[in-house]
C-alpha cells in the first residue's frame, strides 16, 4: 500500500509545497529516508540518479529545522546562524539543491543561500552577513569563505554530503576533512551517494554514528529505464555518425559526453558549423557561460549540450530522451553516471555509445561492471575498418599537452590514446574562459570532530576543485 507525504510525518506546509510540484506519493528512497531523518538518525543512503534523493533529505531537513528551536544567539552572533550545511561536488548540483530547498521551503520562515566558485565572492559575503539557516556549498569556495571568516559553521546541526562518491573522485577528501574539523561534534550526518564504493564506506565509518542504511538500487546499477546501445565506428567518422543520428532520428534534445574539455569545445563548434545548435559545458567555462548553456538546453534553444564528466552528476533535466557517449569514460562507474541523466523519474531514455576499435578495452570494463553485454549495432554506411581519406592520414601534430592529461581515478583507469590513428586534431583554439583558481589547501590534521579516518589511497590525487 502506497504512502502519502503527510503519512511520513511531514508538516502541512511541506506537503502543500510538494503537492504544488505535482507529487502525490514518495519514491522508495524518500519513503525510507524521510522518517529516519525526522527521527534524528544518521543516514547512509545509496540510490541511482533520478530517484528523488534530493527531496529525500531536503524535506526532512526543513522539517527538523522548523521544529527544533534555533540556538540562542550570543553577543556578536549572527541573527540567523547556519544550522544546516549541504556540500555538493559541482556548481550545477549545488544550484539545483538550493533550488529544491527554496521550492519545498517556500511556506516556511527559513532562509537559504548558495555559494560556489567561478563567480564574484562579494555577493556571497553579503548574503552570509544577512544570515542563512541553510547553506548549500561546494567545498572549495566554502573553504575560501572560512579562511576569510565570512562564514561560520559553529552552530551547524545537520550536515549533508550529497554525491559523496563524486566528491571523492574529484579529490575533495582533504577539503571535506578541513570543513568537518570546523563543525560541532554533536550533529546529524546524512551521506548520499549514487554508488557504495569501499572508499565511501570508509568515509561513512568515520563520519556517521550508528547510521541507518538505505540502498534502493544495486551496487553501481544502471537504470533499467535506459535502453543502451553501442555503435561501432572508426574514430575519424564519429562526428559524421553523430550528425547522421541527430538528423535521421530528429533528436531535439541530446546530451553528448566527451573526455576532454578541448574535445567538447571542438565538437560543439563542428556541430554548429553543420547547422545543429550546440554548446559545450565543462570546468573551464565561466559560471555564467555554464548557466546560459544549461538554461538554453533546458529551454530547447540549444539542441545539443556537449559535456565533460563534470556534468555527469547533478544535471537535472526532465525527460531527457538521449545521451550519447561520443567517447567512453576512462572509469567504468562514470558510464553509469553519464547515462543516468536519462531514464529519470519514471521516464524512459536512450543511451548511445560511439565506440572505436581503440576503446574496446574500455567497453569491456564497462560491461564487466554491468555484468552484461550491451547491444552492438553497426549503422549502415558507417561500417568500421574503412581507410580514412588522404586529408586525415597525416594530421598536424598538436604540441599542447592539455589533451595528453589523463585522469588517475583508481584501479579502473585505463590509458587511451589522445589521438587515435587516423583522427584529425584541429589546432588549439584561444579564448576559452577559465574561472579564477582557488587557493591550494595543505592537508589538515585530523580533528576530533567526527571526520573520516580515510585510508592513504584517498589522498593520492591532488585536490581538483570543481567548486
Q: What is the model's pLDDT at position 321?
A: 87
Q: At what angle do helices 287-299 and 91-104 cross, to 10 degrees?
A: 60
Query: d(Cα 317, Cα 46) in Å, to the nearest integer?
Result: 21
Q: What is the model's pLDDT at position 420?
A: 43
Q: What is the model's pLDDT at position 404?
A: 34
Query: d(Cα 160, Cα 457) in Å, to the nearest integer?
Result: 23
Q: What is the model's pLDDT at position 335?
A: 87
Lookup: cell for 313: 552528476
What superfamily does domain 226-404 belong to in CATH?
Answer: P-loop containing nucleotide triphosphate hydrolases (3.40.50.300)
In sequence order, which residues have a C-beta less than 8 Å from that of residue 440 and are 6 or more positions away? 463
In sequence order, which residues have a C-beta less than 8 Å from that of residue 164 and are 6 or more positions away? 191, 192, 193, 200, 203
Nearest to 141, CA basis, from 204, 66, 90, 81: 90
Q: What is the model's pLDDT at position 464?
A: 39
Helix/strand/coil for 180? helix
| Residue carrying C-alpha cell 573553504 | 143
Q: What is the model's pLDDT at position 398?
A: 43
Residue-by-residue pLDDT tens, the chain, 467 positions: 457 888 898 999 999 999 998 888 898 889 999 999 999 999 999 866 667 889 999 999 999 999 986 665 544 445 789 999 999 998 888 988 999 999 999 999 999 999 999 889 999 999 999 999 999 999 999 999 999 999 999 999 999 999 888 888 778 889 999 999 999 999 999 999 877 778 888 888 889 999 999 987 544 445 566 889 999 999 999 999 999 999 998 898 999 999 998 999 999 999 999 999 999 988 788 878 888 888 888 888 999 999 988 755 556 676 688 999 999 999 888 888 788 777 655 567 889 999 999 999 999 999 998 888 999 999 999 999 888 876 555 555 444 333 333 333 443 434 344 444 444 444 444 443 434 434 333 333 333 333 333 333 333 333 334 44
Q: Beta strand 84-87 with 134-137: parallel, antiparallel or unpaired?
A: parallel
422 conformational bin, left if phi > 0, alpha if psi -120 to 50, beta if neither: left
Q: Where are the domains of the chain?
A: 6-71+78-219+441-459, 226-404
Helix/strand/coil for 159? strand
Helix/strand/coil for 408? coil
Q: What is the model's pLDDT at position 76?
A: 41
Q: What is the model's pLDDT at position 49?
A: 62
Instruction: Please give the radius of gyration of the chain, using alpha carbons only, rounded to the nearest integer.
Output: 23
Lookup: cell for 261: 574539455
Q: What is the model's pLDDT at position 145?
A: 97
In sequence order, which residues have a C-beta less than 8 Å from that of residue 109 and are 6 or more positions away? 66
- Beta-strand ranges (E) seen in 152-288 are 158-161, 188-193, 212-215, 226-232, 254-257, 278-281
325 conformational bin, left if phi > 0, alpha if psi -120 to 50, beta if neither: beta
Q: What is the model's pLDDT at position 438?
A: 40
Give 363: exposed, middle or buried? Use CB within 10 Å, 0-12, 13-18, 19+.
buried
Which CATH code for domain 6-71+78-219+441-459?
A: 3.40.50.300
Q: What is the model's pLDDT at position 422?
A: 43
Lookup: cell for 323: 545521451
Query: d(Cα 70, Cα 61) in Å, to the nearest integer?
Result: 14
Could you tell me which residues are beta bridge partners of residue 318? none
Determine if the pTM surpasses 0.95.
no
Amino acid at each position: 500500500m502506497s504512502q502519502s507525504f503527510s503519512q511520513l510525518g511531514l508538516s502541512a506546509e511541506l506537503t502543500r509545497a510538494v503537492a504544488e510540484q505535482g507529487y502525490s506519493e514518495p519514491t522508495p528512497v524518500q519513503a525510507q529516508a524521510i522518517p529516519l531523518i525526522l527521527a534524528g538518525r544518521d543516514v547512509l543512503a545509496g540510490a541511482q540518479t533520478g530517484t528523488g534523493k534530493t527531496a529525500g533529505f531536503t524535506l526532512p531537513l526543513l522539517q527538523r529545522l522548523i521544529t527544533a528551536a534555533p540556538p540562542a544567539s550570543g553577543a556578536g552572533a549572527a541573527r540567523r546562524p547556519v544550522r544546516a550545511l549541504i556540500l555538493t561536488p559541482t556548481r550545477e548540483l549545488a544550484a539545483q539543491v538550493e533550488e529544491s530547498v527554496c521550492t519545498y521551503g517556500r511556506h516556511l520562515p527559513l532562509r537559504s543561500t548558495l555559494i560556489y566558485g567561478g563567480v564574484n565572492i562579494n555577493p556571497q559575503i553579503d548574503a552570509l552577513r544577512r544570515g542563512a539557516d541553510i547553506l548549500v556549498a561546494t567545498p572549495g569556495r566554502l573553504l575560501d569563505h572560512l579562511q576569510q571568516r565570512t562564514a561560520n559553521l559553529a552552530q551547524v546541526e545537520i550536515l549533508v554530503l550529497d554525491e559523496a562518491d563524486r566528491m571523492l573522485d574529484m579529490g575533495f577528501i582533504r577539503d571535506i576533512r578541513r570543513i568537518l574539523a570546523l563543525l560541532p561534534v554533536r550533529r546529524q550526518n546524512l551521506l548520499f551517494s549514487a554508488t557504495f564504493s569501499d572508499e565511501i564506506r570508509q568515509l561513512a565509518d568515520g563520519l556517521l554514528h550508528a547510521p541507518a542504511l538505505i540502498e534502493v538500487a544495486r551496487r553501481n546499477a544502471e537504470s533499467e529505464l535506459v535502453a543502451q546501445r553501442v555503435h561501432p565506428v572508426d574514430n575519424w567518422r564519429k562526428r559524421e555518425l553523430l550528425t547522421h543520428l541527430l538528423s535521421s532520428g530528429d533528436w531535439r534534445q541530446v546530451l553528448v559526453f566527451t573526455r576532454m574539455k578541448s574535445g567538447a569545445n571542438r565538437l560543439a563548434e563542428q556541430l554548429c558549423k553543420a547547422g545543429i545548435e550546440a554548446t559545450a559545458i565543462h570546468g573551464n567555462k565561466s559560471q555564467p557561460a555554464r548557466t546560459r548553456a544549461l538554461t538554453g538546453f533546458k529551454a530547447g534553444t540549444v539542441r545539443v549540450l556537449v559535456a565533460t564528466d563534470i556534468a555527469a552528476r547533478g544535471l537535472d533535466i526532465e525527460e531527457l530522451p538521449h545521451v550519447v557517449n561520443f567517447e567512453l569514460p576512462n572509469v567504468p562507474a562514470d558510464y553509469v553516471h553519464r547515462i543516468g541523466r536519462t531514464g529519470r523519474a519514471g521516464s524512459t531514455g536512450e543511451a548511445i555509445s560511439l565506440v572505436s576499435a581503440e576503446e574496446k578495452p574500455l567497453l569491456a570494463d564497462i560491461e564487466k561492471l554491468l555484468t552484461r553485454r550491451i547491444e552492438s549495432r553497426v549503422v549502415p554506411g558507417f561500417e568500421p575498418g574503412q581507410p580514412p581519406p588522404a586529408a586525415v592520414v597525416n594530421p598536424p601534430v598538436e604540441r599542447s599537452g592539455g589533451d595528453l592529461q589523463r585522469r588517475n581515478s583508481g584501479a579502473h583507469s585505463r590509458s587511451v590514446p589522445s589521438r587515435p590513428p587516423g583522427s584529425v586534431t584541429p589546432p588549439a583554439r584561444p579564448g576559452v574562459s577559465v574561472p579564477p583558481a582557488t587557493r591550494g589547501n595543505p592537508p589538515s590534521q585530523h580533528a576530533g570532530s567526527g571526520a573520516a579516518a580515510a585510508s592513504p589511497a584517498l589522498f593520492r590525487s591532488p585536490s581538483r576543485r570543481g567548486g
